Amino acid sequence: MAPSGRDPTGLSAFGALDPGAVAALRLDRTREAYHNHDLVTALLEAEELLEDDPDNVEALEVLGDTELELGHGREADLVFSHLLDLQPGEPVYLTGQAIARFLHADFEGAVESGLAALEALPDLTEAHAYLGLSFERMGRLVEAEEHLQRAAELDPDGWSPPPAVEDIPWKGLLEAAMAMVPPELQTFYDRVPIVWQHLPDPRVLRAVDPPISPLVLALYEGTPTGAGVDNGLRPRTMRIFQGNARRFARDMKRLTEDLAHALGAEAADWLGVSLPDTPFDDDPADDKPAPAEPETQ
């Protein structure tokens, strides 16, 4: 698989080992890559293991978690569906499926999987959390609050309630975030109205394939025509989603950086250019609590 033709796993020296031992070593390498957040390597290694054994449960578990970390909801859904074919009713796999379905804006499917997980294990933190997020986007706010509160009780560090919208100085936050946008993109916003919105419209998320992440912080409204050249056209609006912005931010500094990253990314996408390097170049969605690792019971 490596362009050089050498074994990318470094396992060629173990060629004399029996296939089971080699598979175990590769699985260890795959897990190590995942835990080191080397997600591309983890993905490739897991897929190679599954080429030899499509029902390798441990490789499927790593692949499912990796797809979730990458935000690939649809792909993760397929992996956890396969795991559930192998081990029907396993609550941790149902939780993984609920997260995956949430990520590709299938909120009804996420609720179905999350509730099934809680029937088996009532205190699964991630099941409660993503049920809450899904219910929130379905407008079922009482149920959303119930499950998000339970997630916060089970994991106060990962799912503590966000600050109230009215407690965040949004105007000052926007000014600070705009100052952090790469200078060559700041002028883009001179003629773009900013619209504050609680959460994105699910219909907008599903209007493209694959769907836009429900955790997106900002979205432009309009059809870009730049293709790498600024023709002067601008979006009708730039919508900033306060509910998402405040949900996972650790503090005001991180909230400002997350918003700056989102504004820069949307401007770059409209213009058809690459987002310049920034000191906060990681994806804000990476700060969401990681899904629990699947465990067979």
Q: Which two tokens stand for residue 187?
A: 């002028």
Q: Per the structure, how many domains does the chain have?
A: 2
Cα separation, 61 vs 294, whole angstroms: 6
More confidently predicted of 5 and 169:
169
> Does 154 lie in the same domain as 25?
yes
At 278 the pLDDT is: 58
Q: What mean pLDDT do residues 276-282 have? A: 58
pTM (2 decimals)? Answer: 0.84
Give a yes or no: residue 117 inside a domain: yes
Cα separation, 130 vs 250, whole angstroms: 19
Of 160, 192, 209, the last residue of a domain is 160
Q: What mean pLDDT do residues 16-25 have? A: 76
H or E element that contains 194 = strand 194-197
> Does 153 lie in the same domain as 31?
yes
Give me the CATH number covering residue 105.
Answer: 1.25.40.10
More confidently predicted of 297 and 204:
204
> Does 122 lie in the same domain as 81?
yes
At 3 the pLDDT is: 42
Q: Tokens 């989603």, residue?
A: 241
Q: What pLDDT band is residue 225 in, cutting at 50, 70 and 90?
A: confident
Whether 279 has a pLDDT exceeding 70, the answer reads no
> Does 236 lie in the same domain as 130?
no
> Does 113 lie in the same domain as 231?
no
Helices (H) and strands (E) in the chain, counts: 14, 3
Of 160, 178, 210, the last residue of a domain is 160
Whether 288 has a pLDDT exceeding 60, the answer reads no
Cα separation, 125 vs 147, whole angstroms: 9
At 165 the pLDDT is: 86
Structural domain of 187 = 165-286
Q: What mean pLDDT do residues 246-265 have? A: 91
Q: What pLDDT band is residue 292 in, cutting at 50, 70 and 90?
A: very low
At 286 the pLDDT is: 47
Give me the CATH number covering residue 195.
Answer: 3.30.2010.20
Burial of 154 (C-beta count, 10 Å sphere; 0-12/13-18/19+) = middle
Q: Which two tokens stand for residue 104?
A: 């590709």
> Does 220 lie in the same domain as 127?
no
Q: What pLDDT band is residue 277 in, cutting at 50, 70 and 90?
A: low
> Does 35 lie in the same domain as 116?
yes
Of 135, 160, 185, the last residue of a domain is 160
Whether 4 has a pLDDT exceeding 50, the answer reads no
Q: Tokens 């054994």, residue?
A: 53
Residue type, 288: K
Question: How much of the chain exceeds pLDDT 90, in percent?
Answer: 74
Give a yes or no: residue 7 inside a domain: no
For the segment 119-147, what is each residue's pLDDT rounded down to a tens digit? 999 999 999 999 999 999 999 999 999 99
Residue type, 111: V
For the segment 153-206, what is each residue's pLDDT rounded down to a tens digit? 999 999 999 988 888 999 999 999 999 999 989 999 999 999 999 999 999 999
Ramachandran class of 228: left when φ > 0, alpha when ψ lies in -120 to 50, beta otherwise = left
> Does 142 lie in the same domain as 80?
yes
Q: Which two tokens stand for residue 261?
A: 């990253």
Give a yes or no: residue 293 inside a domain: no
> Does 190 lie in the same domain as 156?
no
